[in-house]
Amino acid sequence: MKFTEEHEWLRVEDDLVVVGITEHASEQLGDVVFVELPEVGTQVTKDDEVVVIESVKAASDILAPIDGEIVEVNEVLVDAPGKVNDDATGDGWFFKIKPSDLGQMDEYMDETAYQDYIS
C-alpha cells in the first residue's frame, strides 16, 4: 500500500488502484456523515477533486492521486458513510481507478514513511 501527503491510501488490485483515506485521516475528520462520489467513467487528472466528504465537523475534498479513469465507486458509502470511520482501509474505500501511468505511484510513501510523516 502507498500513502499520499493528503492522507489517502492506494492499493493495487490487478490492474486497478483502489483509493481511500487513512485511519489517521478518518480520526482527524471525525464521524463522516456524507460522501459524494464521482461518476463511473470519469477521466481524472492527478489533484482533481473527485470526492467530497462531510464529517460532523467540516467538508473536505479527496483528490485524485493519479491520472486515469474512475471504473468503480463504493456506492455503499452513500447510505453508510460511517464505514469510512469503521474500516477506513477496508470497506471504507472510495473508488477504483484505471491508471494511465502506474509509475505515478512511485512518488508516494510506503507505510513506514507515512507513519513517520504523521508522527
Partner 1 sequence: MADLLTTPLNALHRELGAKMVPFAGYDMPVQYPAGVMKEHLQCRARAGLFDVSHMGQVIVRAPGGYAQAASEMEALVPVDLLGLGVMRQRYGFFTNDQGGILDDLMLANRGDHMFVVVNAACKRADIAHMRARLPGCEVEEITDRALVALQGPAAEAVLEALVPGVAAMRFMDVGIFGSDFGELWISRSGYTGEDGYEISVSETQAEALARALLANDDVEPIGLGARDSLRLEAGLCLYGHDIDETTTPVEASLIWGIQKVRRAGGARAGGFPGADRILDEMANGAARVRVGLRPEGRAPMREGTPLFEAAEGGAPVGQVTSGAYGPTIEAPMSMGYLPKPLATEGTVIYGEVRGKRLPVKVAKLPFTPANFKR
Q: What is the 3-state secondary structure (H, E, C) of 63-118?
A: ECCCCEEEEEECCHHHHCCCHHHHCCCCCCCCEEEEECCHHHHHHCECHHHHHHHH
Interaction between residue 81 and partner 1 (CB under 8 A): yes
The single-letter DSSP state of residue 56 is S
State yes or no: residue 68 binds partner 1 (CB under 8 A). no
Considering the rule CB under 8 A, would residue 72 count as an interface residue with partner 1?
Answer: no
Q: Based on the shown chain and the rule CB under 8 A, indicate whether residue 52 belongs to the binding site for partner 1.
A: yes
Q: Which of residues 12-31 bind partner 1 (CB under 8 A)?
A: 30-31
Binding site for partner 1 (CB under 8 A): 30-31, 33-34, 36, 52, 54, 56-57, 59, 78, 81-82
